[in-house]
Chains A and B, each alone.
Chain A
Amino acid sequence: MVNKLKRLAGQKMNSLLCVLLLVVLLLLPLIVRGTYYRHILIFTLMYIVLAQAWNLIGGYVGQIALGNAVFFALGAYTSTLLVMRGNVTPWVGMWVGGFVAAAVALALGSLFLKLKGHYFAMATIAVGEIMRLWFSNWKFVGGAQGFSLPLKRSSWYYMQWQSKIPYYYIILIIAVLTTLLVRTLDKAKYGSYAKAVNQDEISARSRGVNAFRLKQISFCLCAFITALVGTFYAQYILYISPQSMLLLQTSILVAIIPIVGGVGTVWGPVLGAIFIFPLTEFLRAQLGGQAVGLNYIFFGLAVIFVVMVEPLGLYALLQKMKEIITRVGRSHASPEH
């Protein structure tokens, strides 16, 4: 009974914290006024979504994908081609891009999802590189030069604004919905099955879990969500090219974020993105001009430091801190003290 009450109190506290966080996020662009800082906020939210998507395939079922830039680019190219060639609004193009990416993930998954560990990682890297070379030489998609999206001033139809605030709220909505989706999946059977497949695939299969289907579902969901962000990115930056969309760096960054934050958890990618993206921007601003690659060295050192302090990520670190605070609070409340 006491445990039940404690759990209920804990749940209420968590809900309250979530509401508070949401209020802060809603008010943030009104407090943060500089364009550059708003840009950092938008990109942080964007990486939260990309990391949540990667978390489904890399964190939950444990297939280390290093080619998510492919889906990011498919989303961006699909919606951009639709708007440029057919005047189709990006709001529709976004969904079409998502389905195209999911279909490609299904096809790639049928070929590669039986590979494990670094073999799967290498296969996904190869797909990314092949696509970058292919798109660089394919005139239909603008070749190496890519596309500059036609400027439409502020327009809901074309998903373009001069202010950064609408972009902020759009990506905030996508980030909140994606996090809610991952939370729902985590609580559903999917969460248990995926974690089981990740821990011991043979054992999961010998209990009747269809591991391959689960991986395919995860890969398709990951591709779909990543492609939605691809469209958002294209509409926000208004320029896409193989060199900006199909970077291995992007694929690696979306994997590093949940690894630093906590793989296979709902909040890991959120914490990871809040830590990693502003850090990369800060290091670029401070060190980028001093020596080539110095910011990357410091970024690498920071990531190694976090992973060494807590291999399970920032989320596990927070949990430990929470436990210590609770224990200290309890010992202060006990009559002996």
Chain B
Amino acid sequence: MQVLSIENLTKRFGGLTAVDNVSMHVDSGKIVGLIGPNGSGKTTLFNCVTSYYEVDEGKIKLSDKDITGQRMEVVCEKGVYRTFQFPRLFPELSILKNVLLATKHKHEGLIDVLFRAFSADLVNRAKELIEFVELTRLTNKPAGNLSGGQKKLLELACALMKEPQIVLLDEPAGGVNPTLINVLKARILEMNKEGMTFFVIEHNMEVIMSIAERIYVLDHGALIAEGTSEEIQVNEEVLEAYFGK
């Protein structure tokens, strides 16, 4: 079953076509990779899916329901959770609060938001997730104190808190030391085993080739290849995009 399907998506910035008539899909319970040289349109594609950018042409469907052009928070509540290339956490809020903020907001009433604190169940769940990403001793510290790698781990915990249908990870291993990369990889695979679907942009080939079952390759906004990691590694067009003729 397709969780996310992108149909003929086009995004232009003036005369520049950043994403050019791209179609792809992500099946439920899978880890799908998205690679390509710098400026190939990977993050722009994520930005279109999450409504950070308005789509010029094409459709985005979540479990067969059209979510194109819906507000960012609505897309998130429907089940698309994303992380950013440079983690966008709330530096002055504690790690616990950062995770709690990713709770489901769909059924929160006005009174609930204004006068009720996060329930003990939610707080316990958030603490479990913080433990899962090995940040327990920092639970009440401001997120601004974390290192780059720890921030990426915290974003994973936030994604789990939301329990979305799909998680879009934008360069989870970018700027992270090798030890933490291993922790990150292990956690992603563990979450995937429990049924979580991932769509991952990654420049670290070792990481993406080892976790993704299928990979899409973008170059200059266009889809140039798709296949398993083995197929992608020997694809001439992909090699040309990365290394030139």
Write the residues of chain A forming the contact surface with B, with a CB cutoff of 8 angstroms.
184-185, 187-190, 192-193, 195-196, 199-200, 202-211, 214, 217
- Binding site secondary structure of chain A: helix
A-B complex: 6 closest residue pairs judged by Cβ atoms: A203-B88, A208-B76, A205-B72, A208-B105, A208-B77, A199-B90
Chain A contacts of B52 at CB under 8 A? 202, 206
Rounded to whole angstroms, the CA-CA distance of A184 and B114 in the bound complex is 8
Chain B contacts of A187 at CB under 8 A? 117
The answer to whether A192 and B115 have CB atoms under 8 Å apart is no
- What residue of chain A has the Cβ atom nearest to residue B158's Cβ? A207
Q: What are 10 contact pairs spanning A and B, CB under 8 A?
A: A187-B117, A189-B108, A189-B113, A189-B116, A192-B101, A195-B92, A200-B88, A206-B84, A207-B76, A208-B162
Chain B contacts of A209 at CB under 8 A? 73, 101, 105
Write the residues of chain B forming the contact surface with A, with a CB cutoff of 8 angstroms.
50, 52, 71-73, 76-77, 81-82, 84, 88-93, 97, 100-102, 104-106, 108, 110, 112-118, 158, 162
The answer to whether B72 and A188 have CB atoms under 8 Å apart is no
Task: Given A199-B91, A199-B92, A207-B158, check contact A188 B101 (CB 8 Å).
Answer: no
Residue from the list A188, A192, A208 in contact with B93, Cβ < 8 A = A192
Chain A contacts of B89 at CB under 8 A? 200, 203
Task: Given A206-B72, A208-B76, check contact A190 B162 (CB 8 Å).
Answer: no
The answer to whether B82 and A206 have CB atoms under 8 Å apart is yes
Rounded to whole angstroms, the CA-CA distance of A196 and B91 in the bound complex is 9
Chain A nearest CB from B155 CB (Å) reads 10
The answer to whether B113 and A206 have CB atoms under 8 Å apart is no
- What residue of chain B has the Cβ atom nearest to residue A204's Cβ? B101
The answer to whether A210 and B114 have CB atoms under 8 Å apart is no
Chain B contacts of A189 at CB under 8 A? 108, 112-114, 116-118
Residue from the list B76, B88, B113 in contact with A193, Cβ < 8 A = B113
Rounded to whole angstroms, the CA-CA distance of A205 and B89 in the bound complex is 12
The answer to whether B73 and A211 have CB atoms under 8 Å apart is yes
- What residue of chain A has the Cβ atom nearest to residue B114's Cβ? A190
Chain B nearest CB from A225 CB (Å) reads 14
Chain B contacts of A202 at CB under 8 A? 52, 72, 88
The answer to whether B113 and A188 have CB atoms under 8 Å apart is yes
The answer to whether B114 and A217 have CB atoms under 8 Å apart is yes
Extra contacts besides A188-B117, A195-B92 (4): CB < 8 Å: A184-B114, A192-B93, A206-B81, A208-B76
Rounded to whole angstroms, the CA-CA distance of A187 and B100 in the bound complex is 13
The answer to whether A206 and B114 have CB atoms under 8 Å apart is no
- What residue of chain A has the Cβ atom nearest to residue B83's Cβ? A206
Chain B nearest CB from A191 CB (Å) reads 9
Q: Which among A204, A205, A208, A214 has the greatest number of chain B C-beta atoms within 10 A?
A: A208
Rounded to whole angstroms, the CA-CA distance of A185 and B82 in the bound complex is 28
Chain A contacts of B102 at CB under 8 A? 207-208
Residue from the list B77, B84, B108 in contact with A203, Cβ < 8 A = B84
Rounded to whole angstroms, the CA-CA distance of A233 and B215 in the bound complex is 67
The answer to whether B90 and A188 have CB atoms under 8 Å apart is no
Rounded to whole angstroms, the CA-CA distance of A193 and B105 in the bound complex is 11
The answer to whether B101 and A196 have CB atoms under 8 Å apart is yes
Chain B contacts of A190 at CB under 8 A? 113-114
Chain A contacts of B72 at CB under 8 A? 202, 205-206
Chain A contacts of B112 at CB under 8 A? 189
- What residue of chain B has the Cβ atom nearest to residue A195's Cβ? B93
Task: Given A207-B76, A208-B105, check contact A192 B100 (CB 8 Å).
Answer: yes
Chain A nearest CB from B75 CB (Å) reads 9
Chain A contacts of B91 at CB under 8 A? 199
Rounded to whole angstroms, the CA-CA distance of A193 and B102 in the bound complex is 10
